[in-house]
Amino acid sequence: MAPRKPRCNFKECKEAAQRIVGDCSFCSLENCKKESHARNADKLNSERTHVIKGV
């Protein structure tokens, strides 16, 4: 199976991600890197395990 091409992280944008950091010409998002970082941080925080004390 061929690897999937990276897509833009903006919700309404279905275009391929640009390989440079800065303004995205596809969806006019100013900082795709910040959007991607925030999305990944939210995903990782939701998957974090929690310790149950007192067991």
Q: DSSP of 1-55, one letter per residue? A: -PPPPPB--STT--SBPPSSSS--TTT--S-HHHHHHHHHHHHHHHT-----TT-
**The pLDDT value given to residue 6:** 66
Domain limits of the chain? 15-46
pLDDT along the chain (55 residues), means of 10: 66 67 60 76 89 79
Report field, pTM of the whole predicted structure over 0.75: no
